[in-house]
Structure 1
Amino acid sequence: MKTIVISAPGGPEVLHLLEVEDPEIQDDEVLIKVAAAALNRADTFRRKGLHTPPPAGSSPYLGIECSGTILAVGKKVSRWKIGDQVCALLNGGGYSEKVAVPAGQVLPIPPGVSLEDAASLPEVACTVWSTVFMIGRLSPAETFLVHGGSSGIGTFAIQIAKYRGARVFVTAGNDEKLAACKNLGADVGINYKTEDFVARVKEETDGKGVDVILDHIGADYLQRNLDILNVDGRLLLISMMGGAVTEVNISCLLARRLTVQVIEGQLKIFPIPMAAPVHDSTKLGSSGCSLVQGKQSAQALSVILDSQVEPAILKFKTRMTQVNSGQLSSYQKENNEFTMTLRA
């Protein structure tokens, strides 16, 4: 099969298309013929050599989510069968024609979502659901702030939080991004470049603050996030784009019984027990650069391998898989598996 490999840590020029052996599946895995793979920030970090090495036994190739058709199933797999169209969260290997995936990381494609667009769902869906709802326990009628509302995580978080009855606040860097967030259901949009989001949140909540914050900035926002959490508020950190070292006044943690949880690092502090236009073929590397620079607002990149193109040149379509609240029928969590249902 063909796959994208990294010749050495560096820029887009280190990506190459290479012929490699097909993956072999274990008894609890399925083999997927990849239709599309989404481009994530983690992929660009791994290309640069900045990302934590994948766990032992993971695919050595790029790509942490994909969609496609099941070609084979392991002996212990009962839920899936050959021919099923699915999407999946991966331990690598999405930028390949085929990928072996543990059956528990495979998801059905929701009705109304195309096979290609479904490649952009697993990472954001699993991150938002597990973080905001399973860990953060966001409930109907609570208030929710997501920083970077026009990002992939942000756009998904807006829609599901709004559907489940929360009042949704977002921050973004320009009015165009804020308009996109409002179109997805955000109640309050804050341009962090021209407004003080602390003052605006306090104004909108009569000084109480919000109940849950989903943050990827880290150090730069930590004190300000704590300042705008309501009593029993929960701060969920999923990245540290604004740095990892800062100084904070922790008295508010005790006074308002706040919870700070760093999701990936597993550090816990408990004071008490949309459809965008399609763009034709271009270089994957260029897309990776613009993603890092924050230019791919409200878009997921579905990458499609083409055996006729030159190394490191892929066809991709830039889309946003928009789950309109009017189409959304239900979200279910059964046996630790997340199922999303849409009305046609």
Structure 2
Amino acid sequence: MADTTTRTLKLLALLQAHRLWSAIELADRLETTERTVRRDVERLRELGYPVESVRGSGGGYQLAPGGSLPPLVVDEEEAVAIVSALRTAAHGSAAGLAEASVRALAKVMQVLPPKLRRRTDALRAMSVLLPGEQQAPTVDAETLTTLALACRDATELTFHYDPAARAGSAPGVRRTEPLRLVPVGRRWYLLAYDLDRQDWRTFRLDRLADARPQKRRFAPRTLPGGDPAAYVRASLRGGRDQHSVRVVVHAEPGVVRERIGRWSEVAEHDDGALVTMQTDDSGWIALALGGLDADYEFVDVPPEVLRELRGRNAREARALYLAER
């Protein structure tokens, strides 16, 4: 017979399936007696789990829905599913979900055994991406969780950074006090105080490698303006490799948000949806807007982006003309 702690955890795992178990079924699954099952149920109740008893011939035990529950117990298949879902949500379009998913992913990855980490990595490697998904640079989940934990615990962080060639900075190791992870468009950015440059910096995660938390803890500094997301967006607008475009799309905002909301900001507009895109790839702007299958008008577009879009349209028009001939 399993020891009390192991048996209680197994009982909790069964109850978390949210189905009604009879005492006989539980006793059979746990290889114990119905009397022991009743004692283990009382033990779970003492720990704060709302286990309900259903009387009668079809009665038994079940975990009540709702309320604030202590930590969950999941099996291997469920753990892999949770990590995979959080990785997907970390790149999603729902407001606030990406940041929350990274925080949750960091907590789960902390306690995930190496075997299950390998399984989740294999699942991601063998997953098929939908058209357009390849446009977004991948960020390693291990890097995301390492950075998220360093931000949460206010721990000094070092990493190797390879800035854009136009930035004028050489690749090398950065010593930072990380503050927040911020998703903008199709990318993730780390907002941190650079200890060597004595100033705030924004780091693109797909250019960051070998992140290592250090032993030193720090008191978080006051960020100018106090809003990490606004600070990162402002710093990107000043970057030479970024294009900011605003477009009015004649379509329902919900439809637009569903299709390209994960890479842009979509707001209500009298004529449909106002879309704001910020990207270093002007070709992707044409791809995203073309995929909406709706009329649109540019409200604000940089001259270099306009030239590239005109070139693309000219090539498409020529191809259509030749096809008709």
Say whether the fold is shared (TM-score over 0.5): no
Point out which structure has higher relative CO (alpha carbons under 8 A, 6+ apart).
1
Specify the structure having the higher radius of gyration (Cα). Answer: 2
Q: Which of the two has greater helix per residue?
A: 2
Q: Which of the two has greater strand per residue?
A: 1
